[in-house]
Amino acid sequence: MNELTSLIKTEIKKQFRSVRQFSMYIGVPQSTIITALQKGVGGTSFETVMLMCKVLNIKPVPGDNPVFLDGEKRELLDRYARLDDNGKKAVRALAAIELLRVSDKEAYAELSKKLAEIESAPVTEA
């Protein structure tokens, strides 16, 4: 299941009591929504997917790797925007480290080893 399908499913659970209520609210057959949630929204008409996103307040951000902004991601972006340059630099550095952790275990292990060496090095006074 792709990210958008998962997000739509989560938001339906949060905002509506059931898929049936959601389908009645947006005027799309319940079977269409159930199929989209089971098989992924990729096979659903563009208009239906955009309607679901609009009603659920999910904002698609275009790009090579599409991102769909839910409340949590929008809050994160809002907080980032309020940081000063040092705070933004720290967040970018942490994000780079976390991305390395989930995408390249070997490089992350090497980085962790170097950080441990730095932490255990004696502090010299000037």
- pLDDT truncated to tens, each residue of the chain (126 aa)? 688 898 899 999 999 989 999 999 999 999 999 999 999 988 899 999 999 999 998 887 766 666 677 778 888 988 999 999 999 999 999 998 888 888 888 888 888 888 888 888 887 776
pTM of the model: 0.56
- CB-CB contact of 58 with 70 (8 Å): yes
Q: Is 42 exposed, middle or buried (0-12, 13-18, 19+ CB in 10 A)?
A: exposed
User: At which residue do the structure tokens 């780079």 appear?
Assistant: 96
Please check whether residue 69 is in contact with residue 4, taking contact to mean a CB–CB distance below 8 angstroms. no
Helix (H, G, I), strand (E, B) or coil at 65: coil
